[in-house]
Amino acid sequence: DIQMTQSPSSMSASLGDRVTITCQASQDIGNNLIWFQQKPGKSPRPMIYYATNLANGVPSRFSGSRSGSDYSLTISSLESEDMADYHCLQYKQYPLTFGSGTKLEIK
Amino acid sequence: EVQLVESGGGLVQPGRSLKLSCVASGFTFSNYGMNWIRQAPGKGLEWVAYISSGSSYIYYAETVKGRFTISRDNAKNTLYLQMTSLRSEDTALYYCARGELGNWGQGVMVTVSS
C-alpha cells in the first residue's frame, strides 16, 4: 500500500501568512493526489485535483505543487475562513490512502 | 445538484451487523463508481471501499476486507455497505462519495459498543 506522510499535524498561523502543508508519498503516485479541506461538522471539500489543479470555486490563494515525492498545499495569504483540517489523498492505486491530516488554526 | 444521503447508522453491539445506504440524486448514478469513506471521532479519513459503475470492480481496505460488502442498485440509485462482525474500531462517521470524490454525503454515524 502507498503511505502518505502528512506534515505538520497541526499548525497555527496569523492572518495574511503564507502557509504550506506537505504530503510525502512512499512510492510514485504521479500527480494523482487530491487536497481536501474539512471544516468542523462538515464533509470534506476537494480543493486541489491532480496535485496542482484548483477545484471549481476554490479561491486563487490556494495552490498545489509537487517536488519529487513531496506534494504541497499552499495558502498564499491566510484568511480566517481557511481555519480547517486539511487532508491529502492518493488515488494512483487501491487502496486509496489519506494523509493523517493537518489542523490549521488561526493565531 | 448532486446529492448523496446516507442512512442506516446507529448503535450496535460488537460482533453484530449493520447495513448502510446512500441514495444518490442529481446525476446519472449508473455512470459513476462510488466509494465509502469513514472518519473515527477526532481522527483522520480512511477510505473503506469502492465499487465501479457496473459493479465489475470492487476494492476494499484491508481493515474491512472479509467483513464488509459494498454493493449498489442502479435502478434505485442506491449504494450499500453491509457491515458484519463489527468491532469497536469500526466506530466512525461513514461517508459515501462519488467516484472522483468531488461530492460527498453528510455522513452517517456508526457506533459499535456493548
Selection from B69, B75, B79 nearest residue B5 by Cα: B79
Tens of pLDDT along B62-113?
A: 999 999 999 999 999 999 999 999 999 999 999 999 988 999 999 999 999 9
Distance (Å) from the C-alpha of residue A97 to the closest C-alpha of chain B?
7
Indicate the pairing of strand A10-13 with strand A102-106. parallel
> Taking CA atoms, what residue in B is nearest to A41?
B106
Residues of B with CB under 8 A from a CB of A: 35, 44-47, 50, 59-62, 95, 100-102, 104-107
Contact A43 B106 (CB under 8 A): yes
Model pLDDT, residue B96: 98
Provide mean pLDDT across the span A88-101: 97
Tens of pLDDT along B4-33?
A: 999 999 999 999 999 999 999 999 999 999
Model pLDDT, residue A70: 98
Model pLDDT, residue B100: 85
> Taking CA atoms, what residue in A is nearest to B57?
A94
CA distance B101 to B89: 24
DSSP state letter for B95: E
Provide mean pLDDT across the span A84-104: 98
Q: What is the DSSP string of A29-92?
A: -TT-EEEEEE-TTS--EEEEETTTEEPTT--TTEEEEEETTEEEEEESS--GGG-EEEEEEE-S
Selection from B26, B38, B22, B28 nearest residue A43 by Cα: B38
Q: Given the C-alpha cell 512510492, which residue does it identify?
A: A27
Share of chain A above pLDDT 70, in %: 100
* Chain A with chain B: Cβ pairs closer than 8 A: 42
Q: Which three cell numbers stand for residue A42?
A: 462538515
